[in-house]
Amino acid sequence: MCEVMKQTRENKELTQKEVSKILGISRSTYAGWENGFETISLARLNKLCDYFDISLDYMCGISNTKNYKENIHNKFSSKIVGNNLKDIRLKHGHTQSKTANLIHTNQSNYSRYEREKNIIPTSIILDFSKYYKVSIDYLCGKKKDSKIWIFLFTLKSLRCKLFLSFF
């Protein structure tokens, strides 16, 4: 995510200070996210992606699709995220405890994400997305289709493997 964040900012010819001002944070906080020293919150990531008009899935490296046609620019809502987490979990017939174990958290925390008591950390929603093969943009209410473009993600991985095999 760090590299995509940096490339996106540089492609728009913006400084870290300019982006941090847009997000209402310090430059050092933004630099920490861009350099991988800190993790950006899901709410701030949503705002950043809206500003750059790119998908959360692209920013998180789970899709090569920069922007979905129906991408909805919305204010982050933990209620939407919680409802979508619960819907996906129930569609798979999993308990909160099982899902929590799969995404490297505990049942108490996971329950709080579903009930919108806590905002799910970006790293946890990324694990959820990868395990259930569901779009982070969908989980955040930014698109209607829950699928991520796994095919494109797989091709990207294949290119990396082929490139590495030459060395």
The answer to whether residue 86 scores a pLDDT higher than 70 is yes
Q: Which of 83, 47, 44, 62 is nearest to 4 (CA)?
A: 62
CA distances from residue 79 to 60, 116, 140 in whole angstroms, order as listed: 21, 5, 9
Cβ atoms 139, 128 nearer than 8 A? yes
Cβ atoms 49, 59 nearer than 8 A? yes
What pLDDT, in 10s, does the model give residues 140-156? 998 776 665 544 444 44
Mean pLDDT across the chain? 85
Q: What is the pTM of this model?
A: 0.80
Residue 144 lies in a domain: yes
Question: Do 82 and 18 fall into the same domain?
Answer: no
- Which of the pair, 166 or 92, is modelled with greater confidence? 92
Tokens 């579903």 belong to residue? 114
Residue 138 lies in a domain: yes
* pLDDT band, very low/low/confident/very high, at 76 (cuts 50, 70, 90): confident
Residue 166 lies in a domain: no
What pLDDT, in 10s, does the model give residues 16-49? 999 999 999 999 999 999 998 999 999 999 999 9
CATH number at residue 20: 1.10.260.40
Residue 70 lies in a domain: no
Residue 167 lies in a domain: no
Question: Do 157 and 86 fall into the same domain?
Answer: yes
Domain count, the chain: 2
Residue 68 lies in a domain: no
Residue 123 lies in a domain: yes
SS3 assignment for 15-38: CHHHHHHHHCCCHHHHHHHHCCCC
Structural domain range at position 26: 2-56
CA distances from residue 4 to 14, 54, 119 in whole angstroms, order as listed: 14, 11, 23
